[in-house]
Structure 1
Amino acid sequence: MKFASTALALGIVASFASGNSALAQGAGPGAAYNFERGFPAGDTAQRARDDADLQRAITAYRFWYPTVSNEGIFNGNRSVGIEDGKAWGIAAAGPRQLGFTLNSDTPYGSGVLDLSGGPMVIELPPGAFIGLVDDHHQGWVLDMGLPGPDAGKGGKHLVLPPDYKGKLPAGYFTGRSKSLKNLFALRALPVGGDVAKAMAALRAVKIYPLASAAKPQPLKVVDTTAIRMDSSSLRWEDNIQFWQQLAKIIEAEPLVPSFLPMYGLLAELGIAKGKPFSPDARMTAILERAARAGRDQMLVSAFASNRPDRVNWPDRKWEWVGLVPGSAQFETPSGLDLEARDRWFAQAIVTSPAMFRRNAGAGSLYWLSAMDSSGAYLDGGKNYRLTIPQPVPGKLFWSVTVYDSATRSQVQTDQDKAALRSLFELKDVKTTAPLDLHFGPTAPAGQEGRWIKTEPGKGWFAYIRIYGPEAAAFDKSWKPGDFEAVNP
């Protein structure tokens, strides 16, 4: 992550911590401490200590959430036998791949770049790729492919470890990481709907250590298309495992100088480099409570934000997913946008300046809707219709993807489908008339090909994605309908 100074990180501490005292054990909103002759009386000292530790823990949770979330991605690959720095996975993804707002629009490739042995090279052939490298903390390192400096013409990208002091070779696009473990993520656009060709394009990518550049021995490529995977941090995010995973990362990775105030918070909670993490019963209870509260606060930012700038059309329920245009790390001239940061990482993964651009020709854009036209949250037991005006202002393609609100991953049903895509299910529709799409437990007669199944008893939300967006996607001259509840 990229911070201007330690002072900015200190601002994060103060901003995150404010307002959390009402969550402290035994204290209700506005509860006061009892002092006599200037000294804490009765149980005040213990309550104050518990309150302070809980505030620190909630602050730390929200700051370090992207780090632990990224570890979930790493662990997903490891769980199917893809070892760090030895292989990477590719997939024509679907609902069987659990991960925060993953989509089925394009085949994916991802893996761990391990820089402990020195710089790594990613060699892209020419083609329709969109890719990036983020560090262990989901801080942006470099872009590749169409949004990157190679602009889809191919090239060699070099990822440097934090302390690399060697001579930089010529002919590479270079980025320096703040960590040893890094996420490499790449998608190959299925031009014309040709998934097999896009998968072949991913297989042509070469990843290898710079030290072996004279005779490259690329990392092995593993196809995980048919494998059920969990690349999320869901199993850790609301319990003590969050802190256990974070402690391992802090021990393994070099310190990031601009994070020093946040390391200080962790030290107060018993997590420090070079020391074992072994919380007692009191601290374990506080940390677990903080994990639940921190996660829930982030979900409110994701699905119930009251930020006025989240709205693109005042008469629609669709919202911008990213709230800071063009910033890889949610930075503004006046500081770090904490609400935008929480909102993004509660529901999504990876960051890059290209992901948040709002101009014609940007790589892609994302709108979120979690409510129907009446303002009620979307219900898996109800049927809905969504009207999409045609043509959609995208040079490449577009899609609507449905996500389970509990997992923030594609809905999993016996339909085994979560998206309606212009390159696939909708490739033959006329682009001169509005298009009705359908969502719910029951398909309208004759509309099965334009329908995504949802499960009663579950909530869901949707993303509209437009790839290669045109001006009408930004100037409000084009706007989608809202989800309208209908009878089956």
Structure 2
Amino acid sequence: MKKIFILISLLFSGSLYAQTGVPVGIDSDSLFNQMDYERLVAAYGDLHPDAAFMALWNSYFKEGSTKQNVGIMETSVDSRHNVLTANSETLYAVHPVNLNKQHGGAVVVEVPAKTLGMINGSGWTHIADLGPFGVDKGKGGKYLITSPDYKGAIPKEYIHVQAQTNTIVWLIRGFVIDNDWKGAAQYLKDNIKTYSLNEAENPPVTTFYNTSESLTVDNKNMDMLYTPKDVFPLIKQYFKLNGVLPKYALLYSHLDDAGLFDGTVSNELLKNAYKEGNKRQLVNTFCNRDKDAVVWEGAKWLWANNVSDEYYNSKKTHHYSSSQHQVWAHQATFTCAAMTRPPKGVGSQYIGAYEDENGAFLSGSNHYSITLPKGIPAANFWSVIAYNAEYRSMVRNAEFKWGASSYTNGIKKNKDGSITLHFSPKKPKGVAKENWIQTNENEGFFIWFRTYSPTEAWYDKSWQMEDVKILSK
């Protein structure tokens, strides 16, 4: 009895640990399990941009992209496609590349004049702007993209950029003039070329396919999305194709200890980790606590890309912001200077409304409205699009209409020149069909406003939108 009393006293006093220096009385398996869980949850967020990138990269190969076959959204994207916060008013050519496997570490992309685009690496990391914000300054040019470990000579006639990852995607946007989508698509087809550097003397023909109409093998329209369950397999794929970059060495080490790469991690632990990781990601995106995310003081409108530049640096500290990188990658794709820090009057700016005027998340069951004051600050065009919250993709509805824009025919203006748009399951009485976006009952959604070539009123904040008004439940 005396021995038991002494042992209990030592355990409670901590003397036993001090004397032995070993974890007596600690369940090591349970503690390792907790450590692995915490690290998996952290990696779900920290590597989320890489998982999101790999999902899109895979989708294009599944759709039909090859070394020479490039996908073009010839008639724009619509709600049948599962694409993160796509804009239906623009035309894109998008191409995934495996630098080492497909091109021996060096690929050439001939960029046409009078286009705008970007080259991104895994995690939506910036490699180069193309067009007015790139080295070619909108005149077009031959870009040579090399892998991180490429050792070959760099010919002088190319604009050379080195990727930080082996997996990359480039995007070139065509400009639609007088609603001539066919002509804009043909211009891209006639002028975009891509081939390996070692094929430059006799390059193979670049071919194209229409991602606006094509169907994948499972008879569904193009799907670039991913579920929480997909995140860890996508993370594994990222490391398999790109190796371990110095910035991810610690994360890789933790995931390796947890058994992610050799498959020894338990399915239950993975499931618990991605469920918790997704919970945190949703909060991060839809409840952004960064004060710099607020567009207008006291308003609910938030910057969609709340960063100071294309490298995801914080507006406040000017250092890398992991949280804001995650916010962007969870709901969008690509980054470039044209989107994050465009000179006045050019480029584009995106803001989002996730809550109504009372701070409640937007529900497709309710009736809301937003009013765009007269003099919308967009020299080129503006657009408003409603996105399904779960998939961050265009709202699907019976009306086959997900937004409104400068190009919307028949949109009605108020007497003061402003435009009021309505969001509800059924068309409200007295509201023009062109001013109504149909939502789905019991489905969360959010709204993005875009301005292309913002005018001075955008920058001096003399033009502001009120918060989303809830009109009925």
Q: Structure 1 residue aligned with 2:442, among 443, 457, 465?
A: 457
**Structure 1 portions without partners, runs of 5+:** 1-32
Amino acid at match of 1:87: N
Rounded to whole Å, the distance in 2 between the matches of 1:65 and 1:350 is 14
Rounded to whole Å, the distance in 1 between the matches of 2:441 and 2:309 is 38
- Partner SS, residue 289 of structure 1: helix
Rounded to whole Å, the distance in 2 between the matches of 1:89 and 1:45 is 52
8 A contact 1:71–1:233 mirrored in 2: no
1:305 aligns with 2:305: no
Rounded to whole Å, the distance in 2 between the matches of 1:431 and 1:192 is 28
1:157 aligns with 2:140: no
Shift in alpha-carbon separation, 1:441–1:194, aligned structure 2, 3 A: same
Shift of 1:279: 2.2
Shift of 1:330: 2.9
Deviation readout 1:251-270 (Å, 9 max, x if unpaired): 23233233222221222122
Deviation readout 1:282-331 (Å, 9 max, x if unpaired): xx322222212122212111111222211121242111112222242336
Q: Structure 1 residue aligned with 2:193, among 206, 230, 249?
A: 206
Shift of 1:419: 2.1
8 A contact 1:34–1:44 mirrored in 2: no
**Equivalent residue, structure 1, for 2:40:** 57
Q: Which moved more, 1:245-254 or 1:155-164?
A: 245-254
8 A contact 1:391–1:432 mirrored in 2: no
**Equivalent residue, structure 2, for 1:135:** 121
**Equivalent residue, structure 1, for 2:240:** 251
8 A contact 1:390–1:431 mirrored in 2: no
Deviation readout 1:98-124 (Å, 9 max, x if unpaired): 122112120122121221123111112
Shift of 1:245: 3.0
Rounded to whole Å, the distance in 2 between the matches of 1:435 and 1:106 is 22
Shift in alpha-carbon separation, 1:99–1:37, aligned structure 2, 3 A: farther
Amino acid at match of 1:458: E
**Equivalent residue, structure 2, for 1:261:** 250
Q: Tell me which structure has the larger Cα radius of gyration.
A: 2
Shift of 1:349: 1.6
- Partner SS, residue 336 of structure 1: coil
Deviation readout 1:329-355 (Å, 9 max, x if unpaired): 336756421221221122112222332
**Equivalent residue, structure 2, for 1:475:** 460
**Equivalent residue, structure 2, for 1:8:** none
1:216 aligns with 2:199: no
**Equivalent residue, structure 2, for 1:399:** 383
Rounded to whole Å, the distance in 1 between the matches of 2:409 and 2:257 is 53
**Equivalent residue, structure 1, for 2:171:** 185
8 A contact 2:411–2:432 mirrored in 1: no
Amino acid at match of 1:171: E
8 A contact 1:328–1:356 mirrored in 2: no
Shift in alpha-carbon separation, 1:137–1:372, aligned structure 2, 3 A: closer
1:317 aligns with 2:304: no
**Equivalent residue, structure 2, for 1:124:** 111
For normalisation by structure 1, the TM-score amounts to: 0.84
For normalisation by structure 2, the TM-score amounts to: 0.87
1:47 aligns with 2:30: yes
Rounded to whole Å, the distance in 2 between the matches of 1:35 and 1:208 is 68
**Equivalent residue, structure 1, for 2:276:** 293
Rounded to whole Å, the distance in 2 between the matches of 1:330 and 1:482 is 27
Shift of 1:446: 5.1
Shift in alpha-carbon separation, 1:252–1:461, aligned structure 2, 3 A: same
Q: Structure 2 residue aligned with 1:176, among 162, 168, 175?
A: 162
Shift in alpha-carbon separation, 1:259–1:426, aligned structure 2, 3 A: farther
Shift of 1:428: 8.8
Amino acid at match of 1:131: G
- Partner SS, residue 47 of structure 2: helix
**Equivalent residue, structure 2, for 1:81:** 64
- Partner SS, residue 391 of structure 1: coil
Shift in alpha-carbon separation, 1:307–1:426, aligned structure 2, 3 A: farther
Shift of 1:214: 2.2
**Equivalent residue, structure 2, for 1:232:** 225
8 A contact 1:425–1:450 mirrored in 2: no
8 A contact 1:326–1:354 mirrored in 2: no
Shift in alpha-carbon separation, 1:381–1:52, aligned structure 2, 3 A: same
Determine what percentage of the aligned residue pairs are the same residue.
Answer: 27
Counterparts of 1:332-371 in structure 2, within 5 Å, are 335-357=319-341, 359-371=343-355
Q: Structure 1 residue aligned with 2:152, among 151, 162, 166?
A: 166
Rounded to whole Å, the distance in 2 between the matches of 1:65 and 1:413 is 29
